[in-house]
Amino acid sequence: DILPPGVVTGDDLFALLEHARANSYAIPAVNCTSASAANAAMEAGRKAMAPVMIQLSYGGGEFVVGEGVSNAALPGTIALALHVRSVAKCYGIPVVLHSDHCAKKLLPWFDGMLQADEEYFVRNGEPLFSSHMLDLSEETDEDNIAICVEYFKRMVPMKIWLEMEIGITGGVEDNVDNQDVDP
C-alpha cells in the first residue's frame, strides 16, 4: 500500500516515483484508446498489485470518439481521462494519468487538456491528469525549453508533472517521424 488507490497527482505522484526508484521497479505505461483498454491495464495492475500509468495520446483521443469525426482528439482524450478518474479507485492501485507526445502542431490539444485540468482543479482540488508530455523535439532546444517553461508555469499551481522530449530520439509518435534524421 504505497498510496491510496486511484489517480495520483502532485506530491503523491512524486512519492510513487520515488518508491519505484528506491525499490528498483518500473511502472508500466500503457497507451489506451478505449475505456476497455484502460480497464484492462488497470485490471492487470490490480492482479499484479502494482501501479500503472495510463497514457492518452492525440491519436488515441481521436479513436475514442471516432476517427471520422473532425476535432475529436480533445473530447475523446477528456472523455477517457474522466472514465479513468471515475473507475481507477475500484482497482485498488495507484494510477498515473498521463498525456503522451504532444508536438508543436498539436498544442491546441495540449491547451484544451490544461483547460480541463484547471476546471477539474477548481471543482476537486487536483488536476484531471497526473502529468503531461510535450514532445517538441522537432524544434530548436531553445524554443523547446522556452515553450515548456511557459506551459510549466501554468501547470505548477496544480502540481502537474511535465515530461519534455528534448533532442531527437527516432521513431514515430502521432505523425512526428524522426526515423530518417541524421543527428
CA-wise closest residue to 139 among 129, 131, 149: 149
Helices (H) and strands (E) in the chain, counts: 6, 8
135 an active-site residue? no
- Given the residues 12, 100, 117, 135, select the one marked as catalytic: 100
Please give the Cα distance from 161 to 90 (Å, whole number): 24
Sign of CA dihedral 106, 107, 112, 117: positive
Query: What residues form DSSP beta bridges with 134?
Result: 164
Q: What positions carry a catalytic annotation?
A: 100
